[in-house]
Amino acid sequence: MNTVWTMTTGSGTWNPLLWLLAFAVALIVSLFIRSKGRKDYKVDSGQDMPFISGNDEPKNGGGHIPASNMYWGFLESMKGYYKRVVPLHTGVVTDYLIWFVGVMALTLVIGLMA
């Protein structure tokens, strides 16, 4: 009679009733967490506005803020690094593959020496 409810395979057993029970418990927990959400949310208000790191959403920009404006402080502090690294990015996939293979070979050599 046990074989009707539990399927035994080479890598374990599978019981659909236990899976349904687990799904029901997960659903109940999810609904409980959702019920604790904020009740004062208003549709079509300022709460619907996207948060763009404190910047106002551009009127004519269609919601796009260039990274040069949004990350200005970060880019300014890393200017010396980016001056050296940006010219290495050619956009050609084979260049990236060569870098990937080179770094993997270097990692292998260091790993074999350790």
Hey, is 20 helix, strand or coil? helix
- Sign of the C-alpha dihedral, residues 103, 105, 108, 112? negative
Query: What string of DSSP letters covers 40-98?
Result: ---TTSGGGS--BTTBPPPTTTTT---HHHHTHHHHHHTHHHHHHHGGG----HHHHHH
Count of Cβ atoms closer than 10 Å to residue 57 Cβ:
13
- Domain positions in the chain are 1-59
Which pLDDT score is estimated for 1?
A: 45
Run means of pLDDT, 10 residues per run, the chain, 114 residues: 63 81 97 90 79 69 65 87 89 92 96 88
Which pLDDT score is estimated for 64?
A: 65
